[in-house]
Chains A and B, each alone.
Chain A
């Protein structure tokens, strides 16, 4: 069982905004501003989309944004496009012996 809880699936129509939640504990998401998000297409390597809760790496569309409140982090995709259809994983640094934990993953479907 994954340490961070994400919804299994989220869907939206082109142009809409969707939000993916990532819920952890005080030992990970709530305790540090070290949440990151990754996009994964089937059979491809994951790609960093957001780091340190809300920062976008160079080259990532500004349609992707991140935030955090308490033990829950969120990834918002605005102006949804067909190319956004992929799996998304959150990750957080953790104070446990496992340095980093990932979420269970969310499949985004563009209707």
Chain B
């Protein structure tokens, strides 16, 4: 059974930093592009960032460029999102989602970790 487990969320002040993690099991992690998708309270889903299986390709949504950094450690089956210069509008549930390299859908999702900027 595939499991993606996020951790590291919490309350942070505007301008602060936070690093959230995603630990994966039950899948060949090194074959998957890992993504972060967020959902602000009462709002829809928003793709945030993705990193390909060997970290060769990295992409971000425009609102977080220059502030967020996605990374991964295939030896630890983990992905990370370093968030700096946080703003109130970054408040959201952050989901880790997997996507097989070369495919364009998110097949597995974690339960999410809540980030509150206030």
Contact = CB atoms under 8 A, between A and B. Distances in A.
A and B are partners in one complex rather than unrelated chains: yes
A97 B63 CA distance: 11
Given A89-B44, A89-B45, A105-B45, A98 B105 contact: no
Contact of B106 (A32, A38, A98, A104): A38
Nearest to A46: B109
Contact of B105 (A48, A97, A105): A48
Chain B interface residue bracket vs A: 20 to 34
Given A91-B45, A102-B46, A103-B44, A45 B109 contact: yes
Interface string A77-111: 00000000000010101000111111111000000
B83 to A, nearest CB: 18
Contacts, number: 61
B110 interface: yes
Chain A interface residue bracket vs B: 20 to 34
Contacts of B35: 100
B44 A104 contact: yes
Interface in B43-57: 44-47, 50
Given A44-B111, A45-B95, A102 B105 contact: no
A47 B45 contact: no
Contacts of A34: 104-105
A51 interface: yes
B107 A48 contact: yes
B44 A99 contact: no
Nearest to A4: B44
Interface of B: 35, 37, 44-47, 50, 59, 61-62, 95, 97, 103-112
